[in-house]
A = this chain, B = another copy of it.
Amino acid sequence: MPLSKSIGATNMANLDQQVGYMLRQAQLAVFADFIAKQRGAVLRPGQFSILAVIGRNPGLSQARVCCALAIKRANLVAAIDALASLGLVRRDASVTDRRSNRLHLTQSGQRALQAALETQAQHEARITRLLGSAGKRVLLKQLAKLCELRKTRSPE
């Protein structure tokens, strides 16, 4: 068994066998790869996810975006501000509910999303090459399971 002893190098204290630690490292590596590949208007994973959800759900309210992406309402404001000032997203006042805004992609927003989706596909393909198609499918299923930790209040 790989006990990660210290042979001149540093003893990793079994950190590399703990899910939380490895999740963090992998996430940083994957995000760095995503960011390195993106050269268009959409630069960061967060922006991309917001743009993608709005693109698939035209007229969505900010609250629903927050619910879908697990973002706090307060934090989405600046994000939409940024996307709007880049000319990618429109914030239209809803006529049926004057509290909420209806979010839409502009023409250039749709183009930006399209471009981002393509480079994202390359990024994803690279990961598939690394894990294998079946391996990636298994990984996604396990990550989904881990997300359930969020709901369950420690039962003991």
Contacts and interface: CB of A to CB of B under 8 A. Distances in A.
A76 to B, nearest CB: 14
Interface stretch (A77-85, A87-95, A137-145): A137-145
Contacts of A26: 23, 143-144, 146-147
B139 A70 contact: no
Contacts of A31: 20, 24
A138 B120 CA distance: 25
A37 B150 contact: no
Q: Which residue of A23, A68, A144 has the most chain B CB atoms within 10 A of its CB atom?
A: A23
Nearest to A65: B10
Central interface residue in A126, A144, A147, by most chain B CB within 10 Å = A147
A86 interface: no
Interface in A119-156: 120, 123-124, 126-127, 130-131, 135-136, 138-140, 142-150, 154
A41 interface: no
Given A10-B53, A21-B49, A148 B130 contact: yes
A19 interface: yes
Contacts of A12: 53, 56, 68
A53 B149 contact: no
Interface of A: 6, 10-34, 36-37, 45, 49, 52-53, 55-57, 60, 64-65, 67-70, 120, 123-124, 126-127, 130-131, 135-136, 138-140, 142-150, 154
